[in-house]
Structure 1
Amino acid sequence: MGPKPTEEHSEHDLFRTELVNLIDTRHELARLAELIDWQAFADEWSPQFTSTTGRPALATRLMASLLYLKHLYALSDEDVVERWCENPYWQHFSGERYFRHDLPCDPSSLVRWRQRIGEAGCEWLLAQSIEAARKGGVIKRSSLDAVVLDTTVQPKAIAHPTDSRLLNRAREQLVDAAQEAGISLRQSYARVGKAAEHQAGRYAHAKQYRRMQREIRKLRTWLGRVIRDVRRKAGRLTEALQAKLAVAQRLYEQKRDSKHKLYALHAPEAECLAKGKARTPYEFGVKVSVAVTAKEGVVVGMRSMPGSPYDGHTVDSQLEQVEILCGVTPKIALVDRGYRGVEAASGTRLLVSHTRRLPNRLKKLLKRRQVVEPMIGHMKSDGLLARNWLRGALGDAMHAVLCGAGHNLRMILARLRAFSWVLIGQLALALLISRPAHYEDRETLAA
């Protein structure tokens, strides 16, 4: 069934205190709730619930606010619902009228809602955060004329891939799947496989690489024996066993110079990306394209780019998303030298770093290209961009967009918080000046 209506229209309870009487309505989170058009979520997501039977879905404002709070404060699904029942400001932000002591929903409901709304629904969350930033005075309409484009890596939640670990885990999973299918294997290599994996790690730590390769060859040989044994004895393969067998075969045939390598058994979509960083030469995940405003650094576009394309080949896709979310095609895009040699199909002019013989106006604007670097850093340190726990390529796409929405909300809260302190300072100064003072020099106090 469709989502439940919010409790705003419920009858008043004389024996309970409303949240607006418990909280400070000048709090930045309460003011942020006024900037977001919550009815837009109901209008956008309600048509997706076509069934008229079954239990009603949770309220759209509740689920949208939980997704916002999760990426605003960099929490897991479990942590955000647990902290929600302790924080009255979060409950007011979610549209609750009275304080609740129970969980708003099961953490798995966030998983199902993400799967239902998909990447388009997450982009809608990002679009509403951009609109809230415009209402809050964080950006202006003219700020969308010049954007900064850059790419980064969104690491996947996987262990560091080593040949010894991958080969041994593939053998263990294939043996377990065969035993569940009722296949009696000739040998499982459980004891020697585990010992060889540990020994290979010891040799690698001691930089004895020839001995390490010897242990890896043993693990590869044992994996091949198990694969052939399963194929000989299995009649009609079950779906689970066929999937494990395909993964094991792919890993068994994988060589040093192979293309599209397998780096994680549970996340075959993870890729190895080299970004030239001294601290992390290689990162395993997916490339993400980021678009921020050149003046304020608000995220106006964020999209995953599977396949690790050349940075210049991501321009058209990223500018298309900016136009969809903001309704405006940027006139100028500031990029680094990784975008050389391309032209935008939308007519947007690309200004590449270190371009000479530019007018003073464009030369000054080009200096704002570096604004995207700290924004990416904040999304990784303050947000959840540093580690993606969502499953599959769709999880990569949704997580990237939601991280951009969380970054925008943090910028809006910082603006509201700073504005509150300015008002408090001005009020305190006005009170000091207006009170009957015994100071000798009131003009000095005013200054």
Structure 2
Amino acid sequence: MYRKAELAPLTPLDFELTNGSKLSPDNRWVKMAQLIPGSEFESEYAENFPTEMGAPAKSFRMALGALIIKEKLLISDRETVEQIRENPYLQYFIGQLSYSNELPFDPSLLVHFRQRISGNLINKVNEGIACENTRTRRRQTRKKKDSDAKNESQNRGKLLVDVTCAPADITYPTDLGLLNLARVHTEKIIDILYKSLKNKAKKKPRTYRNLARKDYLAVAKQRRPTQNKKRQAIKKQLQYIKRNLAHIGQLIESGATLKSLNKKQYKTLLVLTEVYRQQQWLFDNNKQSIEQRIVSLSQPHIRPIVRGKAGKKVEFGAKLSASCFEGYVFLDRMSWDSFNESGDLKAQVEAYHRFTGYYPESVHADRIYRTRENRAWCKEKGIRISGPPLGRPPATVSKEKKKQALSDERIRNAIEGKFGQGKRRFSLNRVMAKLDNTSETVIAITFLVMNLSTWLRQVFCVFLCRSGKTTPVFRLKIISNYSGRKLTPEKLILNRA
């Protein structure tokens, strides 16, 4: 059951503290609380609770606020709840009306929050917050005189597009290691099914688990095993798994019920069957790749993403297509399968037009985006796409074109910096969620928190400009001695301007 949440206090002065003091309106959590929508997306969140029975669920603002706090502080679920209990600013951020020393909710509810708030919903919140901020800033910086209709229709701004990969928290997959883990799971399933047999007259099937483990370790412990040794080890593990799967089928025919397996174990059995089929096909055909290849038994939705980066030619996680303009970054597409990002350019430009009301002046992208179709479409819209034109390069290039190409690459570095911020400052470099839908929520939250951080920096700069404060500027003064000669660098005096 879901009840519409009460409106949060409009100002931090309405928040009730035990000692009678008031919250500071300049606190970062207070400022960010003004951006978090409460009622606009609450109806979509309430669709997760179709019935009117049961205890009332937590509000959308509390669920979204808790996920933002966890990502902003990079802490665990338990630590998130403890931080909220100890900090009145965090309690105000999630929508509470007064300070309480009790836990706002159980830490296990954060798992349900990630399942109820989808990645698409978070993207809508992200777009609403960022677009409202850009419109407000545009109104504040607009000149007093109104421009004519011709100038309003011209292209303005710069759009940056690129793709990246959000690696999942899995071990580096190898064929031998994956088969060994699959064999271990088949042995556990055989043990469970045999215990569920009513008639124990039948002898328990032999799995040769000790011998199978010795065969695996004999190759896995070698620093650089030859290709022939790895192939022979894979062949043995495939034979062990084939025998175990046959035993599982015989136990089911003998009366063992699949109901003795829980939901996770039954799902693992289905994954094991598909892993065996894929690995057997790769072994028989002497191939290295196959469509929809499974690289993790616990997260079978993860696929290898070939990126060709130095040190990481292949990454295992979700492939993300993002766009950036005016300092804000948006998640346009997220897929567990690899895709060609050049097909997203038109949709990203149209999204820019929908947000701002005009097309960008230029689009800065990688070489893969600069297809003939995309170039023709951008030319039709009056958009300049970065990079050299197609065809044979000219013998001589003018200084203006060299300067323009260098400027385009510098501008495009901004979106690379956003990816670096998400992977170094936040959790985009290792997604700890285990399900596909919760992983999508975690990734979308990262982009939302990055935009909130951008907005906070802009507010801080405006505050410094209005208060008349500037950053300290230092300069070097070269002091001359009586003989007129300059002193050595060790004797330079560092003065504050």
Relative distance call for 1:48 and 1:168 in structure 2 (3 A) is closer
1:434 matched to which residue of 2?
none
Contact preservation (8 Å) 2:71, 2:449: yes
Gaps of 5+ in 2: 143-151, 198-202, 390-396, 473-496
Contact preservation (8 Å) 1:339, 1:352: no
The reply to whether residue 188 of structure 1 matches residue 178 of structure 2 is no
The reply to whether residue 248 of structure 1 matches residue 272 of structure 2 is yes
TM-score, with normalisation over the residues of structure 1?
0.81
The reply to whether residue 216 of structure 1 matches residue 234 of structure 2 is yes
User: Aligned partners of 1:117, 1:95: CA distance in 2, in Å?
Assistant: 17
Aligned-partner residue type, residue 92 of structure 2: H
2:219 matched to which residue of 1?
200
Aligned-partner residue type, residue 351 of structure 1: I
User: Aligned partners of 1:413, 1:153: CA distance in 2, in Å?
Assistant: 26
SS of the counterpart of 1:246? helix
SS of the counterpart of 1:170? helix
Aligned-partner residue type, residue 84 of structure 2: W
Q: Provide Cα deviations, 1:152-194, integer angstroms capped at 9, x if missing partner.
A: 0111111111222211211121222232233665222332333
User: Aligned partners of 2:183, 2:409: CA distance in 1, in Å?
Assistant: 53
Aligned-partner residue type, residue 218 of structure 2: Q
The reply to whether residue 404 of structure 1 matches residue 475 of structure 2 is no
2:481 matched to which residue of 1?
none
The reply to whether residue 353 of structure 1 matches residue 353 of structure 2 is no
Contact preservation (8 Å) 2:166, 2:428: yes
Match of 2:174 among 148, 162, 186: 162
Cα offset, 1:242, TM superposition: 5.7
Q: Provide Cα deviations, 1:69-110, integer angstroms capped at 9, x if missing partner.
A: 222233333332222112222122222232222222223323
Rg larger in structure: 2
User: Aligned partners of 1:75, 1:302: CA distance in 2, in Å?
Assistant: 27
2:300 matched to which residue of 1?
268
Aligned-partner residue type, residue 164 of structure 1: L
Match of 2:288 among 257, 265, 277: 257
Q: Provide Cα deviations, 1:96-141, integer angstroms capped at 9, x if missing partner.
A: 2322222222233232233223233222231243146437749989
Within 5 A, what are the aligned runs for 1:64-83?
Answer: 64-83=64-83
Within 5 A, what are the aligned runs for 1:32-431?
Answer: 32-42=32-42, 44-46=44-46, 49-131=49-131, 133-134=133-134, 137=137, 145-181=157-193, 182=196, 185-203=204-222, 205-235=223-253, 238=258, 243-253=267-277, 254=279, 255=282, 256-259=287-290, 260-293=292-325, 296-319=326-349, 326=355, 328=357, 330-331=359-360, 332-341=362-371, 343=373, 349=383, 351-355=385-389, 364=407, 367-422=410-465, 426=469
Gaps of 5+ in 1: 430-446
User: Aligned partners of 2:47, 2:356: CA distance in 1, in Å?
Assistant: 23
TM-score, with normalisation over the residues of structure 2?
0.73
SS of the counterpart of 1:100? coil
User: Aligned partners of 2:159, 2:114: CA distance in 1, in Å?
Assistant: 28
SS of the counterpart of 1:2? coil
Relative distance call for 1:35 and 1:176 in structure 2 (3 A) is same
User: Aligned partners of 2:430, 2:217: CA distance in 1, in Å?
Assistant: 26
Aligned CA-pair RMSD: 3.8
Contact preservation (8 Å) 2:166, 2:431: yes
Q: Provide Cα deviations, 1:374-409, integer angstroms capped at 9, x if missing partner.
A: 110000111111112334443343333222101111
Relative distance call for 1:124 and 1:108 in structure 2 (3 A) is farther
Percent of aligned positions with the same letter in both sequences? 22
User: Aligned partners of 2:74, 2:129: CA distance in 1, in Å?
Assistant: 16
How many pairs does the alignment contain?
Answer: 424
Cα offset, 1:342, TM superposition: 5.4
User: Aligned partners of 1:350, 1:266: CA distance in 2, in Å?
Assistant: 45
